[in-house]
Chains A and B, each alone.
Chain A
Amino acid sequence: MSDSQQRPGSANAPSIPLRSKRVTAPPFSPPPPPINQYSMVPSVIPGSAQRTDRSSSSPGRSLIPQQRQHSAESLLSTSTAHQAGQSTDASSMRSDRASSMASTAVADGSPSVPSSIRSTKSSSSSSLSNTGEPLVSAREHRGELGSLEDAFANLNGEEVKLTSKTVQHVDGSTDALQSGVLTITNYRLIFRAANPADSFDLPLSFISSIDKVSTTSNSQNSFRLRITCKDLRREVFVVTKNADQPSQKHFLDVLKAHAFPLSYKRQLFAFDYKGEYSSEGWSVYDAKTEYKRQGLPNDMWRIANVNQKYELCETYPSVLAVPLNASDELLFGVASFRSRGRLPVLSWIHPVSHATITRCSQPQVGLNGRRSKDDENYVKLIHDANPSYPRLCIMDARPLVNAAANKAKGGGYESEENYPSSDLVFLDIHNIHVMRESLRKVREMCTPRIEDPNHFYSNLEATHWLSHIKAILAGALKIVDKVETYKSSVLVHCSDGWDRTSQLTSLSMIMLDPFYRTIRGFQVLIEKEWVSFGHKFAHRIGHGEEKEATERSPVFLQFIDCVWQLTEQFETSFEFNERFLIAIIDNVHNCRFGTFLSNFEKEHGEKNLKVKTVSLWSYINSDLTEYRNPFYYQQPQDSTGVDNVLYPLTTHRYLKLWLRYYARYDPSVKYQEPIEERHKQLLYALQRLTELRDNLKKEAAARRDSNAKNNNNINTIPRSSSNHSRVTEPVHV
């Protein structure tokens, strides 16, 4: 399967356009981006292409700032020209790819640009404004506000709900007011400023809360609106009263109704969206295929269909892997003893030692120390299924105190007396409320820009965010060590087994199994351990709800952050790059695709999401060029053992704050590894050289032919045509 995966990317790889307009007088201009490449991408929505054409014929902004940057005046301000050049390049490059990613920046009329690029948009603008450079050419200043109104491309299913010209945007770093046209659709908020660099898009489902902020001045006619987003972004608008325009109240009503559709009895945008992609994302994961890949069923484990109607456990998938000798009756017995019926089932099995990772929820021990013979027998079966090691390790993700406190609520943990062949380990990972609070502190630290850089590290420590990341990674590493070094089976649970448990099982599976480090495998992992095992995405993210319920928590974001830490330490072990991770996390917040809309598999089916919505993977898999890690090295299939297992360093000395995600709206943060950019450039250079070589080859062949015909002396013939010698002239090594 890896082969078939490799192909499409390989075909794309050489044609990565590496243009830069910074070369003033190149001997030949770099070729135009291979547009036909992208036109094959089905994400281009009919109608949008037309708009793109139109907008790109108007003076695009991409060229102007670049050339200004090239004058090197503003070059060494905190951001870099190189980067700005790339960002605008990238945006123009992708302009025909229909808007796709969540937090999008539409500036030059290109429908939308991935959020990762959005940050550099702001970076180029602010670096310029720092030095007082006018960003926009005179031509653009003449542009009427009215013409900005429709300067964006609708997604298929997107409708304009409101347009207002009296709303001003407050720049996060300078507090300056920017006038423009604000459009609200059922999908996003679009702000088009006279200065294109200040324009941006904001998918409405990112919005976590909308607050009116009282202002000192003009409070009669205007109010400030602060929009806080789930991805740590924060935008402030000033709404002014104006007779010609929609009233302030109407504006607020429309905004809220579409930002929180569920609270206002509307449906999420995903049900309106009708994107079409070449790849079918819903078929990425099939439970039976995945268990088959792991070698199941085997002589110890079977695939159970007992949960076909979700009667055994409502929040579990329909297909479960359980010990061979566990009868269906036993399963029901166990489920009655485990919190919410989430009985221990298999997540992963070691291909050689058959040590397993199983997951479940806490046992309902309670204050009276209840026991369940069924549960004890069942745990014994899991233990017996792995003859390699005499003990079973039970990892309780919680701190011991929390686990003990849960007894009062009827929960608890396995006592080693009742489960004689087991060792119990507590992993000290805190609950969702602690994590939410921690992320709030990260937000305060990073938005709108990193405050007080000199105290960056102590501020960082005060958020405890990386301490939590460390605890999770260390916990996963303990599981990996047990499974790989001791060949011991591990049973993982927390309270309900859908937050910390998912983090631990999926991370340890990534460390143990190289398959999950591929693009396809990672998608399978998310579908399996998170979506199908009921991570409650709808509650944790709070899709479309106005009320900020205490159920919300950045558990999945933490998992992605942990994966990012792994990619930083093992830069060649992952097929995907940082942009892939950002695309996933953005689309978790974004209600455009159906993948993360439900709480568990049963609900997924009831809502008929597979039919009514598009899968995120359809979108991502339809063009993977952007998401591939150029430094990925795939292990040879037959090599097993230690090299296939990642043992990350979980010390703070090696953990980093993911600035390119958390602080991506800070102009000083680069959006991409410069080395990756170099790699692309070299690939492009190699491609150019190959082309040139082929040309010369043809020429030489032609020359040889004519030589043969004319019987001329080879020396009298010009060695190569003037055209080519000019082309290759600047190539001096």
Chain B
Amino acid sequence: MSTSFRSYYNAFGFNGQKKQQTNSPVIENVEFVNNIPDVRILPPLRHGEEIIAQAQRVHVFQPLSLNNQGLIGELYITNFRLSFQTLRFPDYRQDHQAAVHDYWHPWTPGLIDIPLLSIAQMFRLSKSGKRKPFKIGGLKRLVILCKNFRLETFSFQLSSTSDSHSVASALSGYVHPLEKERLFVYHYGAKNTNPSVGNDTSGDSVPSFSMRSDWITEMKRTDTNFASWRILQANENFHICSSLPRCFVVPFAVGEDAKLENLCALLNPAEERRPLVWTWSYGAASLCRMSGDIDDTFFRAVQQSHPQRHTPRILDVGAMCPNIREIKRSQEILRDLLLVESASALESSDDKWYHDLESSRWLQYVSRCLETCRMAVADLQKNISVILKETGDRDLNCAVSSLVQLCLDVSCRTLKGFHRLIEKEFVAFGHRFRDRLALVKTDPERESPVFLLFLDCVHQLLVQNPGCFEFTDVYLVLLWDSSLMGSFKTFSMNCQRDLQGTSSPSMPSVWNLSFKPDLKESIMDPLYTTTNATSQLVGSPSNVIVSLNSNLPCLQLWKHCFFRFVPPLAVSSAVSRKSTVMRELCHRVDGAMAEMRGLQNGELVDGFANGEVSVDGEDVSYEDLASLASGDSLKAATIVRRRSQLLRPFVPNATSQTLMTFQK
């Protein structure tokens, strides 16, 4: 077969059976692309990325099509991702991609680019459609379930056995690697000669909290009393506590380094002898983290650090929040709910959706985390220090501590501040990203998407407080994707000690991820800057404290994250007109502000005296304001285009039959 037919066609009959011989597919349904040489489209490769295996004439099926519609192309397995390439993707794929374009990660630009480490499970599919365990050998059909709620089905029935064999062995070798050195971040690091990718040398890089200076900055930023808290540097070789950074902050009253070492030696070795650490101050009150039952010495030391000697409050995060097994179970149920294979399954599961959703308990867990955060915030506002207590201090403590700071600390709500927050609370304090996200084959008991739960909590804050955060939930989704790639040092380690002896400066950091301008626009919330700038002017509430409603019925399922890869359900918010209206309005206000400043500085605009002052190229008047409210002044063309995406949710087959999806 030398002709390259790459088109959307119906290769198989209804039961998934082949209609005809392998090498002569159904002619009438095939669009032949003549006169095009059989060029292989190689995926653009990154530093250190190598193609491990490839297979030709592979089908990828249309989502929800019961695996009887699809398109044909070449499948590449690299040491980073699985990439499916074809000359032209059919409309349904492109429509879907256009609808959720904002959520497309820059490192996986293709329509079907799946980072190998984001794969949760792989199955072979038997002829009857049953899922069988994956094994090395010739593949006929392959189902891939991803941790970020994506499902893709491939068929190798038209490709050669050797091709599918090599794909199977490549996948089995790279999907759940046995040792951490096989993570892509190490390959990238080894090949990368440009250290600036990993370590931003400019002044405003995200601190790693491994150096004394980082903590000094942080203590100064939060107005912390250096007489009450002390930066401990004795952990240079991680001998006091292996999961803590080289430097961390402890109560001054605990005493000298040696005394602390002795104290730590008495602590529970199962919890890595982790001492109490300071993480943030709110006025006179402090936020501390502690593993397991608190030692009396530490407790008194925290009390003494408080200027009024208020008794600190211990919040048992471990008891109030779900544990890691519960979170994992919850996400698995949620994933099974979302990853359905056919439109009819989607439909039949719809009637018990609420029951299923509740049985996953996901929203309940989100609610519990937010409630814990709310209590911590309430205490801190009463000038009471809070000690977050959790066995190990490496999971939910990270989430709750971050949430508290997001609620109370304005600077954490900028993009930079959010980076710093995650770097401190999750990365420096040793959240086991590698284990929890199962990037390397680990004990299934250790796997748990704590980070996703945290991101969902942040998402709820974003929904409840528009304009209070510099970033949008698009960014949170991209962060979740980034964490599953194993290609950023931020999310590939269990603690800072893991970076010892590696070429860490050349490893990419997720904070240096660069986005295309249009994506950048959907990541940043224009409302944030504008609201901040105008808050004094209009006397609107300042953004010092965000409000927080932890009541479960008021929480929203994170549709943009969870429904992203289920085409009929994927509706993008970032292109919604609501945000377009807001964006437009923000531009106008910004323009007016700029003009005001200009006037204050005496820079008289030329047309100014003639009364032709323009803002953003347009005259601002009451009429404009009014028309803005009704939306007349907007560029109709873009709106209409965007609306068409918005109005007609993507349907796999835009015939009326499938419009009937989800109906009784």
Contacts and interface: CB of A to CB of B under 8 A. Distances in A.
Interface of A: 6, 9-11, 13-14, 18-23, 26-27, 29-30, 72-73, 75-83, 85, 131, 428, 450, 453-458, 460-461, 466-467, 470-471, 474, 477-478, 481, 485-486, 570-573, 628, 630-634, 636, 639, 642-643, 645-647, 649-654, 657, 659, 663, 668-670, 674-675, 678-679, 681-690, 692-693, 696-697, 700-701, 704, 719-720, 725, 728, 730-733
B664 interface: yes
B467 A678 contact: yes
A60 B592 CA distance: 36
B541 A85 contact: yes
Contacts of A21: 539
A692 B644 contact: no
Most buried by B among A457, A663, A690: A457
A646 B601 CA distance: 50
A636 B596 CA distance: 34
Q: Is the interface of B mostly helix, strand, loop or mixed?
A: helix
Interface stretch (B265-273, B501-509, B616-624): B616-624
B563 interface: yes
A675 B578 contact: yes
Given A481-B656, A688-B537, A474 B608 contact: no
A668 B549 contact: yes
Interface in B133-176: none
Contact of A457 (B354, B531, B640): B354
9 A-B pairs closest in CB distance: A10-B626, A80-B547, A474-B663, A685-B534, A457-B358, A689-B592, A572-B577, A651-B662, A461-B354
Given A27-B536, A570-B647, A659 B547 contact: no
B contact residues, range: 35 or more
A670 B578 contact: no
B630 A9 contact: yes
Contact of A649 (B581, B595, B597, B649): B649
Contacts of A687: 622, 625
Nearest to A463: B354
A684 B352 CA distance: 45
28 contacts: A6-B626, A10-B627, A14-B626, A18-B538, A20-B540, A22-B542, A72-B545, A75-B381, A76-B374, A76-B547, A78-B550, A80-B464, A81-B541, A450-B551, A457-B357, A572-B578, A631-B578, A636-B636, A649-B662, A651-B569, A653-B350, A678-B466, A681-B531, A685-B589, A690-B592, A696-B600, A725-B600, A733-B590
Given A73-B382, A461-B352, A681-B538, A477 B577 contact: no
B609 interface: yes
Contacts of A670: 549, 554
Most buried by A among B367, B646, B662: B662
Contacts of A683: 585, 625, 628-629
Contact of B537 (A663, A685, A720): A685
Contacts of A663: 553
B57 to A, nearest CB: 36
Interface in B551-595: 551-554, 557, 559, 563, 568-569, 571, 576-578, 581-582, 585-586, 588-590, 592-595
Given A30-B539, A683-B585, A731-B536, A633 B609 contact: no
Given A78-B549, A647-B649, A731-B536, 14 more contacts: A22-B542, A78-B550, A634-B632, A643-B643, A652-B353, A653-B559, A659-B554, A674-B466, A686-B592, A692-B596, A693-B599, A693-B613, A725-B600, A731-B533
A502 B407 CA distance: 48
Given A634-B630, A642-B644, A690-B592, A654 B539 contact: no
A649 B568 contact: yes
Contacts of A692: 596
Given A78-B550, A681-B531, A689-B596, A481 B660 contact: yes
A697 B608 contact: yes
Contact of A10 (B552, B609, B620, B629): B629
Contact of B576 (A428, A572, A700): A572
Contact of B539 (A29, A83, A652): A29
A29 B538 CA distance: 9
A527 B600 CA distance: 55
A457 B337 CA distance: 15
B648 interface: yes
Contacts of B530: 682, 685
A73 B600 CA distance: 38
A431 B19 CA distance: 47
B378 interface: yes
Given A83-B547, A456-B553, A481-B660, A18 B596 contact: no
Contacts of B597: 728, 731, 733
Nearest to B374: A76
Contacts of B557: 653
Nearest to B581: A631
A633 B643 contact: yes
A654 B353 CA distance: 10
A75 B553 contact: no
A13 B553 contact: no
Nearest to A575: B630
A700 B610 CA distance: 11
A681 B534 contact: yes
Given A646-B647, A652-B354, A730 B537 contact: yes
A443 B540 CA distance: 36
A454 B364 contact: yes
Most buried by B among A456, A457, A653, A690: A653
Contact of B602 (A131, A646, A654, A719): A719
